[in-house]
Amino acid sequence: MKITLSTAGLSRTPFLVIGSGIAGLYTALKLADIAPVTLITKETLEESNTSYAQGGIAAALSPDDSPDLHYTDTIQAGAGLCLPPAVTALVNEGPERVRELIAWGVPFDTEAGTLVMTREAAHSFSRVLHADGDATGREIIKVLVQRVRTHPRITVKENHYAVALLTGEDGCYGALVLDENATQTSFLAEATVLATGGCGQIFTATTNPAVATGDGLALAFLAGAPLADLEFVQFHPTVLHLDGAPCFLITEAVRGEGGLLRNKKGVRFMPSYHKQAELAPRDVVARSVWLEMAKTGADHVYLDLSLLSADLIERRFPNIYETCLSYGLDITKAPIPVAPAAHYMMGGVAIDLYGRTALPWLFACGEVANAGVHGANRLASNSLLDGLVFGHRIFEYLQRNRRRQPALPPELAAVVPTETNPEHLAADRLALKALASAHLGIIRREEDLQNAKRRLAPATPPAPIPLNRLNRPYLELQNMRLLVRLMLEAALTRRESRGSHYRVDYPVPDPAWQKRIVLSSTGTNWAAADQPFTWSW
């Protein structure tokens, strides 16, 4: 549904940031050095994927490490689809961004005044910084939130849900929003930054919080900005699988410290799947766990911590230890039952090396964006770094290229998806999550993907939806439906297996598919894997 809004009397802000994970908070803080910022978030500032990040943030800060080595590890994990210039920016600028967090007061763990770093899967060095053992994201968010809340040039709007981007002939002008009272309002801006995170909630089992419904991806697509690499969803291989417990992440760092994966018979199985065993790339470990479960007829495997002392477990992984203990499991004495769950979207809004999208004056960074850093499989603990590096690049661009108080057209357009009947909201959401889990999971096949595509063909509600029925739960479902359809299209298009995208009917990588799939309102296109996106604005 396309609607138009009059611009008469609407308030304006230089910069509008949508989202409050590490990418949104950090970018807002940087942009506030230039001009006032309005930051909107659908719940509280504290609620985001970042808050649940355990493992840490990767950066080549050790004297024995280097950006070149970090670059090599990232490229190898990305299975041929990482964009070299984007990875170069990530690994070379990342250390300075992490030093900035340290200067701001993020309490990364130290011993005798030296940063403690751990090793995670597919890293050749111990370069992952962590805070409070396994609560890195939470500790980063605490510091960033405090700085945002007290910054005199940042206005925070919590419980504000972005309904649609506002567009005109000169690009993006801000967003149509539901405020804390579910009343429609608008925010006009010189530049708008999407930092809305991922979309794990389209799956039944996910490590993502309830806010991760892919809204930013849908907003951008409907406003005319292409999306790239949507077939690549990372499933974390070790998520707590215990009756009565939620999907709780068991960080890869547990395996980095010596945790071993065993099947229900107690047999260690990863050495038979990959030479790096438990420290193989995430897509390999997740797929191996899935296959081992299928072989043994089990719905989980075990993460054995018996090589770790009880003291190390409690000190290094206090959050995991206490959470498991609250469900009756003492991980210093018993293995952890785990299974894979949806964790991270490698694809996203296609951006150039400065966070620009194809829609003028719309930027994106963090998990919602795709600069080509992660390729077909994200290297562990590169996600937080990604948000920082490309958030800073957006700041650098706008420092030099502000669109100061652009002339407003009389009206702006907004596209709002309204496909399903609001009366069937709960049932439709459960059905969608089951569909995505069954057909867009770790193992994919043509027949299943085509079946899902038919079942999810665009629907038209029996009657126009009144604007007052456009509440957050309804709009989230519309965004999720759109995103699943786009992911199905990408998964059907890529007729090979690469990274996190595994098709049993095309089980090996094909050099002809070493390219990126780009989806837009005009159709499906391709982009070279080694060339950045470029826009004319």
pLDDT tens, position by position, 233-243? 999 999 999 99
Whether the pTM exceeds 0.85: the reply is: yes
Q: Which of 70-79, 88-97, 454-463 has the lowest mean pLDDT?
A: 454-463
pLDDT of residue 401: 95
Mean pLDDT of 75-87: 97
> Does 291 fall in a domain?
yes
327 and 240 both lie in a single domain: yes
d(CA 92, CA 95) in angstroms, rounded, equals 7
At 302, list the tokens: 């075990």
530 and 481 both lie in a single domain: yes
Q: Which residue has the tokens 């080549």?
A: 60
Domain limit, last residue, from 282, 313, 341: 341
pLDDT tens, position by position, 315-333? 999 999 999 999 999 999 9
361 and 476 both lie in a single domain: yes
481 among known catalytic residues: no
Domain limit, last residue, from 326, 341, 356: 341
Residue in 534, 516, 495 with CA at minimum distance from that of residue 228:
516
Q: Which member of 255, 282, 316, 378 is catalytic? A: 282
Q: What is the total count of domains within the chain?
A: 2
At 41, list the tokens: 């978030």
Under 8 Å between Cβ of 302 and 264: yes
330 and 351 both lie in a single domain: no
User: Residue 10: is its pLDDT beyond 70?
Assistant: yes
226 and 190 both lie in a single domain: yes
226-243 burial code (b ≥16 CB/10 A, e <16)? bbbbbbbbbbbbbbbbbe
362 and 485 both lie in a single domain: yes
Residue in 140, 192, 138, 171 with CA at minimum distance from that of residue 368:
192
Packed helices 215-223 and 472-493: angle between N→C axes, nearest 10 degrees? 80
265 and 213 both lie in a single domain: no
pLDDT tens, position by position, 177-192? 999 999 999 999 999 9
Q: Supply the CATH number for residue 307's domain.
A: 3.90.700.10
Domain limit, last residue, from 341, 356, 383: 341
Percent of the chain with pLDDT over 70: 99
> Does 478 fall in a domain?
yes
> Does 84 fall in a domain?
no
488 and 375 both lie in a single domain: yes
219 and 268 both lie in a single domain: no
354 and 318 both lie in a single domain: no
Q: Supply the CATH number for residue 404's domain.
A: 3.50.50.60
Mean pLDDT of 199-225: 97
User: Residue 284: is its pLDDT beyond 80?
Assistant: yes
Of residues 75 and 459, which shows the higher confidence score?
Answer: 75
428 and 290 both lie in a single domain: no
> Does 116 fall in a domain?
no
User: Residue 462: is its pLDDT beyond 70?
Assistant: no
Residue in 324, 296, 141, 135 with CA at minimum distance from that of residue 239:
324
23-57 burial code (b ≥16 CB/10 A, e <16)? bbbbbbbbbbeeeebbbbbbbebebbbbbbbbbbb
pLDDT of residue 128: 95
How crowded is residue 98: how many other Cβ atoms within 10 Å of its Cβ?
23
Question: Between the CA of residue 153 and those of 15, 36, 37, 176, 179, what are the distances in Å?
Answer: 11, 5, 6, 22, 20
d(CA 51, CA 140) in angstroms, rounded, equals 8
Reduce the secondary structure of 490-514 to three states and give it as a string: HHHHCCCCECCECECCECCCCHHHC
d(CA 483, CA 199) in angstroms, rounded, equals 9
Residue 177 domain boundaries: 1-52+150-232+346-537
> Does 127 fall in a domain?
no
> Does 414 fall in a domain?
yes
Calculate the CA 337 to chain-centre distance.
25
332 and 360 both lie in a single domain: no
Percent of the chain with pLDDT over 90: 86
> Does 186 fall in a domain?
yes
